[in-house]
Structures are given as structure tokens and as C-alpha cells.
Structure 1
Amino acid sequence: MKKIIVFIGILATALSSCSNYIEEDNRSYGSAEEYYITAPGFESLVNVNYAALKEIYGADPYLFESGTDMYSDGRNQEPSDRGLSTYTSLTSGSYGVDQLYRSCFSAIQQANKGIYYSTITEKTTSLPARIGELKFLRANAYFLLVQTYGGVPIVLENINTAVTSFDRNSAEEVYTQIIKDLNEALPDVGNEAYNGRVNKRAVQNLLAKVYLTKGYETFGTSSDFTTAATLADAVIAGQPLNVSFENVVKPGNEMNPETIFSVQFSVTSNAAGITSLGNSQNYWFGAYLGPANTGKYPNRSYTLCPTPYALSLFEKGDKRWENTFMTEIAAEYYQYYTAADRTKLKINHFYEPAWYTLTERDTYIASHPDLGAIKAPATLPPGYHPWGSYSSAVTASSDFQLICVRKFDDPASPYSGASSANYNSTPVTPASNRSSTRDFIIARLGETYLVAAEAYFKAGNSATALTYLNEVRRRAGGGTTGVIPVLTTININTILDERGRELLGEYHRWFDLKRTGTLIERTVLYNPKITNSSAFEGKNGSKKILRPIPQSALDLNRNKNFPQNPAY
């Protein structure tokens, strides 16, 4: 197994504290090497590994969400050549292609360093658990890499000097290493309730997703789906989805009983960099609403906006509709969170759902005079946005024209000051938009139910798959049966539709489509900016399914036998 790699400017330095739960101790005991062999020094080194997650998930989401059935450009466009959002111009040098490559290999190097020092540091009762945590974090980084780029170099050593020649391992070898790391971590990590650290449930959850994804690969087998289902069962352990969807996405409630693993942020850890040390999840997936420095509006990008398909997924009675989108906007946006009685708010904008009848429309307008006076019998108030008028298919020319995703709102987030208009040409420094200190949830129980449903479906057990899928829908209907219909048939599209409703914006979608082999079909069908499969045509008759290996990595590699992905 080849184990050498060039680190393209990614050797991680001391990162900021990871959370209120896991904080790096930067006290000096002389050299770093001397410090890491002490118990507090090693603990600090492990905590740096958790902090590395901030760089993986904290910045631009293009590699996670762009170029899918759920999101396309809004009034602003993705930076540079729009390669990740439209594929036609996607090359190894496109903006954002190297984001995961750099941040994941940085995390891998940090994990390797921690595992190396675990063999020579002071022995403590917590040491085995910390080694397991490091192996989980390394496996998570490799899982993101192998899904995005295919086979990548496997490096397991602590490297302190630049290496300028490296070989590429196969995707199958990378999956083998991921599964090895997770199986070794499982017996050693803690079994306590989630408190910010990796526990057994988090390891089992990631293993379930790894086996599910591997099952679709050419080297996968049907037993991978069976294993994934068994692991998802172990994670669920009979726990129903009893937290309301509103409370699942409520700001400040990220440590609810359904959270399995998250990247944790805090106001304290962001104090030294108000708009640079948090995450940017609150910044994406919605319309820019005007100057936010007045305190009235959040800072939005207007760059990744929901497609007509994404909006059409929601049915009447599905609580995820109003808890995913800000369907009503008061005179000040954040009054939604601060008002003692929301029913008394003056609503300036309303986004009509797909199921509204003309009678419901008239009733709503009559009861909300602040939407604006009706100019003529056939004219709607200026603040009333009828169904079909506010998706990314619309050429937006003014603020409020497209709907906002509110499930990531952070009322405590300061205005970043970055001009979203710059994204039409010169990319804004990603750090300038990272002002949210809400925890970034990577894994939660609602998704595990959907992983179980998909695994059982692929294993040939549709009845059990439907049971898991309908539990997600039961919660979405407000906890009662019959509010939204119970599904009686299942296929990969019904699973992907439900994942779209439940997980909109949660950094899973591109991986979902790539995993299930539906990336081209569903993107062409539902993305208004990609209307022909020719957008995916690459070199040598290959399709642009995998992302290209970053050009910066290829340029620094003296081994010229390192192959680029065939479409590039």
C-alpha cells in the first residue's frame, strides 16, 4: 500500500478551540514534542483534531451541494467558471475543487500525528478512547475524499517534512482502510450519551453510511447493504423520532437527543475572528435581503437557492415546510425568533405553498393588510409571492424575490460585511462569511432512519424499508398518523425525495445522487440551470461524476504516473 503524499500547504497549525465541550489547551511545556508526550499535551493534540472539522465543514458548500437536483444559482452565481454548479466548464483548476482535498488531508495528517504520539505519550485510562476518536476522524476525512475524488493516496504516517512524490491508491483500498479504522475505533471509544466527542453510536452511524455507499461500487457486494442495515439498526436502537422537527432545527438546540455527531462552535471560540472562525451554513440557501448591518436582516448569499423540485417536495401538513423555509417575513426578519407572540407580527412577505387554493390565498391576503394594498382585482399585494414565483428558476432582480431557508438561521450571528455581489466575478474570501457559531450537525437520527430505509431496500427488504421511511414521515406530519400520507411503495426515487425533504441543505445531496447513480438523471430533470446531460460529458467519453483531482496537487507531484480522473 502506497503511503506517501504531498501536503499542498495543508500542514495544520494550532486551530481554534472546538467547542464548549472540547477545548485545546495551548500551555507550553517547551517544544511541541515534549508537550505531546504529557497527558494534557496529548489531550490538547486530540482536541486539535476536532478543530480540524471546522475547516472541512465551515466554509463554502459547493462540493457538498452544487450541481444537484435541489440547488442552483440564484441572483448571484457561483464563483469563477461555475464548474461545480453546471459541470460544463468543470476542470481540475475550477474554484472550490481543492477545498475538501486540502482540508481532509490536513485532518488526516493531524490524526496521524495524534496516533503517532499515542504510542509514546503518558498512559492514561482515556488513551484507548482517544485513539479510537482519532481513527474515526481520519476515517471520516477519507470517506469524504473517496466519495468526491475516487481513489486517493493513503497515508498513515506522521510526516514532518514535505514529500513531493506520491502514488494514488484505488477506491477499494481506501474503503478497506476506512472500514479498518472504524472497526478498530468501535470497541475503544466511549459509550456515553453524545457530549461532543466521538462515541460508539457515531462510529456505528458512519460505518453504516460507509457500507451503504460501498455497496453501490463495482467492488461492493449485496452483503454491504445488509451490514449497513444492521449497523443503522444498532444506532437507532428502537429510539423513535420524538423531537419535533421544529426543535431539531431550532437555534441553540443542536445538542438534542437526536444529534449523533456535530462540529461544535461557540461564541468564545469565535471571539478573535468574528466573521472567520465560525461556519457559513447560515449564509447559503437563501435570498439576499438587503443591508444586514441595521440588525433587521441576516446576511445571505443569493448564490445557492432551492430549485422548483426542492420546493415541490413538501405536502400540506408537512411540518418541515415552515420549519425549513422562512415562509413569512416580518418587518424585521429576526422577529420570528424574538417575538413573544408571532401571531401579532406584521407580515411583509409571504411565500405561498404549492397546495394553496384560491380561497386560501384570498383569506390570507385579507388577514394580512401589511402585505400591501391590492392595486387591481387581478393584482396580488407586492409582498405576496405566489407558488412558482420564488424558486431558483426565476430570474431574480430584487431582494426578497426568492425564498429563504431558515433551518440554519443564527440570530446571534453578526453581519459579515461581505458583498455577495462579488460572487459574480471575484470570489469573496470564504472566511469572511463564517460568522455562525451554531453547531454544524453532521449526523442525526432522522438521517439514520433514511440510511436504514435505503439499506433495507437495497438488501431486498422493502417492508422494513417502508417502516423506517414512514417513521420519518410520521414525525414530519406533526407526530400524528394520516397528516401526510403513509407510503405503501418504495424505490430509490421515493427515498431520495424523502431525503430531500428531511435533509435540505445539510451537506449530503451531491453524495446522495453520486452514491445512488442518479446524479445525471435527476440533475438534468430538476435543475433549471442544467437542462442537458451533455453538461456531464468529459474527456475520453467519460462522465463528470467524480470531481477532478485538484490541479495544485498534480502540479506539486513529481510522480507523473499519478492519474487524473478520466473525464478531466
Structure 2
Amino acid sequence: MKKSIYIGLISLGLLTGCSDFLEEENKSTATAESFYLTQEGYNALINSCYSTLRDVYAPVPYMFIGGTDLFFGTGQEAPLGLTAYQTLTPGTSQVGNFFQTLYESIQVSNTALHYADLTAQTNDLTTKKGEARFLRVYYYFLLVQHFGGVSIVSDMVRQPITHFDRNSAEEVYNFIIDELLLAEQEVLENQNDFGRVTKRAVRHMLAKVYLTKGYEDFGSSSDFEKAAEYADKAIANESLTVNYEDIFAFQNDVNPEIIFSVQYDQSSLLNGGRHNWDTPFGPLITGTGEGVFKQLRLKVSEYLWKVYGEYDSRFEGTFLNVRTSPYVGHYLDEDGYPIDKYYPRTAEQYADTVTWRAEDLENRADTEIIPFNDSWWHLNNQSDYPSLKKFDRVQLPDVRYTHDLFVARLGETYLIAAEAYFKAGDLGTATERINEVRRRAAMPGHEGEMMIAQSQIDIDFILDERARELAGEGHRWHDLKRTGKLVERNKLYNPQVSQLYDNGQDPFMGANGNLKILRPIPLSVISLDAGDYPQNPAYE
């Protein structure tokens, strides 16, 4: 582990920003220590804390959504350890990279908090400390969910350390909560620069941390009550006003729904840093001039295709149900390109295809109509089904656009509140929070059909609702792990996993009868620690 932490002390001379308020700078004529003592240097250091979000989220999101009920692995490039668990070991490279990147990112925030007491004192210094504090414990929240107890390193590390003690998961959760409570006092209610941490972002995260802690052996009912309280504080009586599809619309990353995001813009991507969240879902698109590149490494499960109701607009907000020539033509000019294929999902849509075609004969006269059917999720179908569009990048000579990744948004805050109230025993309020989400999701004129009664709510319904609202956004593995449904719902809905069970194999079974719920501590951490750094039981 000493190597993982020490690598975090990289030169921060080149600072790649997360948005237009983070500018790329090269301060090669000044040492880091003297530079960070200035107002300009400390601002650059805080900006580098934000840029570490890109490092964490840059890879294909196997760690976040692989091996779930929503997506299963296809192709040799999809790591079996993360999509089907059978080959998950301490040597799985994606796990090791994830662990190391999180600690490197934590060390950048530790550096910022260290220099906060030394740098030039300014009116906004307390706010910046709160921002760094939030980012640091956000990474610890990812660590504790995936690995259980880990080492809490809260000081800037100047020299290699040969051994770290492993804190318990309870200690890590308490550290996260204590730091978030401090950050809530330090950051601003609103920021002039969109993308910086606000009180609302902190409250959303406090709600999620309390909710997750409540499920743990050391959790309690008061954690769910706190989760509900902070979720409502983050909601702040605000209704969901952004049309669902508009949340993810082309070049609309800054909208009232977004509480906190990993930001991208072309001017701040001079040294790379683009994410790969658009590439794995398919359908397979590799042609020159299409404007996107999709490899088909994670395929949509039959469960996810079917979980949307007849009047739920979130399907059309999640999946692109037309295929234009080129693919990105739909984004560049919705009415300006021929539509090769149309994928009507509902009975109403399919019954109205004649009218649909007549609305734009120039572009729809030759469209192939492919209604909802079993072939959409057939393993051999690589190209004929709607594409998950939420995070499509457009890469053309004259348009270079990388969609932001939404870490926290108001729709999820409502669902956090619903789950917290449900776990606290308040089904009435849980129903109200879910119905606000479903009201926004309803197709016009069908709001009544979308409303639910409190008798319908259980944890599986909440997971279904989170699938409809948040598919592809990086929450699903955490959702299943938190609620204790990781094994059950993979077995039911993930064809990779269910096939193993059908063949008499249990891919979740690890060493000494322990299940692979947590990820393994990477082999590099175990081997480099001079002391005894414990492995998680399923991998011993």
C-alpha cells in the first residue's frame, strides 16, 4: 500500500481543469511548495482536486455497473471478474487501478487541506477547504462500499510509508460523516462557478452515506432517519421541473437537475481526460463518420428493457429509439437527417407508425420499423436495438463534445429520500417521494396511470424505480450491494451469472464459504505492505 499512497505525491504543476473555471497551467518555474503558498497557486491546487474526478471516472464503468441486473458482459474485452464474478481475484487489474486511483486522488485533497493552513489567507479559503474535504470523503465513500474497511489517510504524505493499519468499515463511515458535516458548514449555499461543491451536494451525499450505513451491521434506524432528513434538506421543496429527456440532452450538461457532476469541455481536454462511459453499451458502431464509437462490451439485460411501463417516458429519455445516418445526426439536427431505423416500444407507438412516418416523409419514408421484441436482447444481436444514449460523446471534425457525468442529481435525491423513509417505516412519505419522480416521468396525459399506492412499495420496487430513473449512471452496483440484493438479482436477471448457476457453479462463492460481495484488496497492496494488511475473507 505504501506504493499506492506514495504515487499520489505526483507533481501538480500541470493542472487539468474540470470546467471553464479550471484552466490548464504550467508553473514549471516555481516549486510546488512555494507556489501553493500563494493565492493563485492554492486556487490551482483546489482545481486539481476537482480534476481527480476525471481520473476516477475515466475508465469504462465496469466497477460501477458491471455484474448487475441491468448490464451483462459481452466480448473478450469485458472483464469476467467484474461482469460475472467467477474470476474476480486480488489480481484483477481494474480493481487494482480503481483502488490506486482513489488513493492518489485522496492525496491531492490531503495536500490541499495541508496547505490551507499555510497559504495566503483569503475570504474564500474556508469554502475551498470544504470543497477539498468533500472530494476526499467522496472517494472514501467509494472505497468503503467496494472494499469495506480501508486505511484512513488524512495527512499529506511526504515520504514513503511501509505499513498502514486497516480501519474498520464503521470507522470509515464515521470519518466520512464527520467530514461531510464539517464541509456542510464550510461550503457555500450556491457557487458562482457551476460544478463546485455546494451545501446541496454535501446534503445529498450525507443522505446517501447515512442510507448506506443504515444497512450495515453497525447501522441503526437512526441512520435511515438522518438519511431522510438530509435528502429532504437537499430537495429543499423543489419539484422535478426538467423534462427527463432534457436532463441528458446534447450540450445541456448545465441544467437545474444537476447537483454535482464530473465536467468536461473541449478547452480543458487538451491533455486528454475524456471518459469512456459512452463506448461499452452498444449497439456496435465503428464506421467512419458516425461521430461516435461504440464497442458493445456491456449489453442491456432483458429485465432493463422490460422494466419500463407503457406510459414511462424514461425509456425514450434513456435509449435512442431512432437510428439516423450518421448516428450523431439526431443530435446535430433532429429533423435534418434520414432515419434508417425506428424502434417503437409501446403498443401506442407501434399502432401510430403510419402517422409517425407521415410527419417527416423526407427523412422517414424508407425507415425500417423494428418494434419491441425478443431480438433486442438476443446475444447474437450486436447492432439492431436502441442505444443507451445518456452519455454519448460526439466526435466530429467540427464538433467535439464529451457529455458530463452526473454524480448527483435531484431525481436521485428523491429516490434516496423514498428509500430512507421506507426503511424508517414511513411508507406514506416514501410513496410521495416516489410519485414525484414518476409524475415527472409520465408521458403527457398519463400522470394518473403512473402514480402508485404505498402498498406497492418494497425494496424490489425501489430498485426497479432506481433502474428506470438511473440506468447507466454509475449507481447500480452500489444499489445492489447496499440493499443486499447483489447475488439475488444477478442470479435472476444477469444471463452471464444465471447461466453459471444453471451449470451448477456459484460465481459469488469465495474462500471458506464467504461470498464475493466486497471487492478484493489488490494484490499489489498486500505484497507491498511491510506489515499484515488483511485481505477480504472471500479472497484469502
Q: CA deviation at 1:412?
A: 4.3
| 1:394 matched to 2:379 | yes
- Matching of residue 551 in structure 1 with residue 537 in structure 2: no
Deviation at 1:89, TM superposition (A): 1.1
Matches of 1:479 and 1:198, distance apart in 2: 34
* Offset from partner CA, 1:54-87 (integer Å, 9 cap, x none): 011122211101100000123x24445x111001
Deviations 1:410-461 (A, max 9, x none): 334679xxxxxxxxxxxxxxxxxxx862222110000000000000000000
Match of residue 284, structure 1, among 263, 280, 284? 280
Query: What does 1:287-302 correspond to in 2, within 5 Å?
Result: 287-291=283-287, 293=288, 295-302=289-296
Report if aligned partners of 1:371, 1:384 keep a CA contact under 8 Å in 2: no
Q: 1:556 to 1:389 in 2, by over 3 A?
A: same
1:306 aligns with 2:306: no
Query: Contact conserved, 1:18 with 1:24, CA < 8 A, in 2?
Result: no
Cα drift, residue 30 of structure 1 = 2.3
User: Aligned partners of 2:116, 2:356: CA distance in 1, in Å?
Assistant: 63
Paired position in structure 1 for 2:164: 166
* 1:173-207 Cα shifts (integer Å, max 9, x gaps): 10111011111111111111572111111111111
Percentage of identical aligned residues: 41
Find the aligned partners of 1:384 and 1:478 in 2 and give their Cα distance.
21
For normalisation by structure 1, the TM-score amounts to 0.87
Question: Does the C-alpha gap of structure 1 residues 479 and 150 become closer, same or farther in structure 2, counting only changes over 3 Å?
Answer: farther
Offset, 1:164: 2.2
Q: What is the distance in 1 between the residues matched to 2:385 and 2:6?
A: 39
Q: 1:46 corresponds to which residue?
A: 46
Is there any run of 5+ residues in structure 1 with no aligned partner, and where? 373-382, 416-434
1: distance between equivalents of 2:262 and 2:444?
Answer: 28
In structure 1, C-alpha distance between the alignment counterparts of 2:526 and 2:150, rounded to whole Å: 12
1:349 matches 2:341:
yes
- The residue type equivalent to 1:52 in the other structure is T
* Map of 1:113 onto structure 2: 111
Counterparts of 1:242 and 1:479 in 2: how far apart (Å)?
14
Residue 338 of structure 1 is matched in structure 2 by: 332
More helix by share: 2
Q: What is the CA-CA distance between 1:215 and the residue it aligns to?
A: 0.2
Counterpart-to-counterpart distance in 2, 1:97 and 1:335: 37
- Closer/same/farther in 2, CA of residues 309 and 361 from structure 1, 3 Å limit: farther
Say if 2:124 is the partner of 1:126: yes
Q: TM-score, normalised by structure 2?
A: 0.91
> How does 1:399-438 map onto structure 2 within 5 Å?
400-412=383-395, 437-438=402-403
Aligned to 1:565: 536
8 A Cα contact 2:5 2:157, kept in partner: no
Q: Cα deviation per residue 1:143-188 (whole Å; 9 max; x = unaligned)?
A: 0000000011111111122222222111001011101111111111
What is the CA RMSD across the aligned residues, in angstroms?
2.4
For 1:64 and 1:436, the matched residues in 2 are separated by 23
Describe the SS at the equivalent of 2:341: strand
Aligned to 1:379: none
Structure 2 contact 291–395 (Cα < 8 Å) conserved: no
Cα distance change, pair 320–157 in 1 and its aligned pair in 2 (3 A)? same
Q: Whole-Å Cα distance in 2 between the matches of residues 9 and 125 of structure 1?
A: 32
Q: Tell me the residue number matched to 1:154.
A: 152
1:493 and 2:457 aligned: no
2:16·2:22 contact (CA, 8 Å) conserved in 1? no
Instruction: Provide the rounded CA distance (Å) in 1 between the counterparts of 2:227 and 2:299.
Output: 32
Tell me what 1:523 maps to.
Answer: 490
Tell me: CA distance 1:255–1:384, structure 2 relative to 1, closer, same or farther (3 Å): same
**Separation (CA, whole Å) in 1 of partners of 2:99 and 2:35:** 29
CA distance in 2: counterparts of 1:328 and 1:128, whole angstroms:
49
**1:140 aligned onto 2:157:** no
The 5-angstrom pairing of residues 139-538 of structure 1 reads 139-193=137-191, 195-273=194-272, 277-291=273-287, 293=288, 295-339=289-333, 341=335, 345-353=337-345, 355=347, 369-371=365-367, 384=370, 386-391=372-377, 393-396=378-381, 398=382, 400-412=383-395, 437-478=402-443, 482=447, 484-488=449-453, 489-531=456-498, 532=501, 534-538=506-510
Structure 1, 125-134 or 14-23: larger mean CA deviation: 14-23
- Give yes or no for contact 2:344–2:350 (8 Å, CA) kept in 1: no
Does the CA contact (< 8 Å) of 2:46 and 2:132 recur in 1?
A: yes
